[in-house]
Structure 1
């Protein structure tokens, strides 16, 4: 069943929790039909309820994005139920917080399969359907870590670097073909999501995002904007992302040394590590009945807005305002010269 005129069909992988869940809600508020692809049944049901309450049309499917056949089957089902896919958002996540030497090979493979190949599989599924129609967008939810790797997150750092390179190369191919299908990537700051409560961790204390921390709704607003403006090759979200990427470009060696000193401490709270459910191999909400939602445990520390994000989305307005101020200053200066000459 196709959506009503004016609605889009949006697919969000990893949409049952965290940033993906916030994206699901944000698209739903626009009245879009939202297909939520994830592993956890409880989170999927709760996300579908969010979509209905916001006025959108939900579709859910339990799927492991690391399995390309499952993802292809899910994409077929989405189009049968909702209509042709307009936007595909890749946001699935899994990782291990630990020094590299303490991560088992099978854990490394699993994290990479989800975070990197899951994005590749999702992009392939989207393009197989969008390229013949010559329209649509694929949005990759990335991270500042795509350019600046950090200690204790070698899986995530490597996967996000890989996504950035993959997306960049793919974008060139689509441009070469003259395609009207666009791919774009957002580099996110640290977000307050449940990943720090369910990721496999071998740290001595409870893991946390590297401050400053932003709420997942900041990411969601950026994703929806990018879906509306997918021709832009990349978006940097949050002032900390901008500062990190600029510092890495011009002083990467200094940043290496800084992270060697501060990178461990900044990723752990003062609370000792405790046993908790781990989602690397299986969803943690299966059988528990718990909906983890979009937010993690750091609401009291997280920012709900980003001035940088607003500026990024309104750069045309800011440029016009700047030009106006410059013109005003020029007119004032000219008037001053004319007045002085008349005296």
Structure 2
């Protein structure tokens, strides 16, 4: 029997690409998101490819809705083996221009949505003593940038929550595993529908990657949940390391460059949709798909992601190279 996975935020972007990647491997996938139009389109894609999809309209900020969705998944697809938390929303604006209600909404979806998803997954996995939970994180979980205070705060909170939970699972010797996958900038529709108060169209900070790069990494991490986290994209690793080495310098650098690097060359459309309170791909909306507006600039592959997947063999090769070099040096030294 094929396994059962739940993907939140599955109507678009990374979530949609991840659902397709899982379905290609034979996994039965439950798609959770608010947008009915996007969910229906994602389900059609999976079914057209011969897979099984169960779309469920769910607001991850509402624990009762998440619980009801999990009940339906179990009843219609079977026991949940994998739960991937990826749903989020955001506001692009300086902190003082974000209303308290907007900040709260971002936190409820982007942070508490992960908490709710993790809880309902554990309620079903712990009695069976098996299952995997993947938290889709970001480089911004370790290094905040301007104009995204609510999103960055939520991503930082996810790391703190997950690390605490992991310790508790280890204490109880549970075989349920939790891992995090921290992504770089990705070409998703969020930049076409995020609530923005910027003068120009928002954009991901280059370098930009296609959502399929993230999806492959997430599915790989789900199949090998022993590692506590995966960092995808050289920019993610460089950003996190730079923050650990010289955070004050990075503050100043981002203060100078962070506004411009998050805005495209064209002005913002005053009539653009926004999905903070209502899904842009809901009833009366359109299907945004997995990709955003930056296909011409987005990378389809990440060398760092490949290295992350092959870290063990690369480490073994490096050790062998060092050992071989040392042996040659020793032999030459004896001459």
The TM-score bracket by the shorter chain reads over 0.9
Unaligned runs of 5+ residues in structure 1 are none
How far apart, in 2, do the equivalents of 1:55 and 1:314 lie?
Answer: 30
SS in 2 for 1:308: helix
Rounded to whole Å, the distance in 1 between the matches of 2:206 and 2:154 is: 21
Name the structure 1 match of 2:95. 100
Q: Output one character per residue of 1:18-66: Cα deviation in whole Å (capped at 9) or x when no partner.
A: 1101100110110100000111111111111222233321111111000
Cα pair 1:31 1:54 within 8 Å, conserved: no
SS of equivalent to 1:142: strand
Q: Distance in 1 between matches of 2:101 and 2:41?
A: 31
2: CA distance between counterparts of 1:289 and 1:78? 26
Pairwise CA distance, 1:337: 4.8
CA distance in 1, matches of 2:244, 2:145: 15
1:201–1:207 Cα contact (<8 Å) kept: yes
**Alignment partner, residue 207 of structure 1:** 202
Residue deviations 1:140-163 (CA, integer Å, cap 9, x gap): 001011111110000100000000
Q: Distance in 1 between matches of 2:240 and 2:326?
A: 35
Aligned equivalent of 2:224: 229
Instruction: Tell me what 1:129 maps to.
Output: 124
Q: Note if 1:218 corresponds to 2:217.
A: no
**Displacement over 4 Å in runs of 4+:** none
1:142-198 CA-partner distances (Å, limit 9, x unpaired)? 101111111000010000000010001000011111000011111110110000000
After alignment, is 287-296 or 220-229 more displaced? 287-296
Equivalent residue number for residue 277 of structure 1: 273
| Residue in 2 that maps onto 1:257 | 252
Q: Distance in 1 between matches of 2:126 and 2:157?
A: 23
Contact 1:34/1:57, CA 8 A, preserved across alignment = yes
Of the three residues 91, 104, 111, the one matched with 1:109 is 104
- Quote the offset at 1:10 in angstroms: 0.4
Task: Name the structure 2 match of 1:319.
Answer: 315
The count of aligned residue pairs is: 334
Query: For residue 53 of structure 2, what is the aligned residue in structure 1?
Result: 58
In the other structure, the counterpart of 1:15 is 10
Match of 1:310 among 306, 310, 325: 306
Q: Which stretch shows the higher mean deviation, 235-244 or 284-293?
A: 284-293
Kept in 1, the 8 Å contact 2:8–2:15? The answer is yes
Distance 2:266 2:55 in 1: 36
Structure 2, gaps ≥5 residues long: none
Q: TM-score, normalised by structure 2?
A: 0.97
| Match status 1:165 vs 2:154 | no
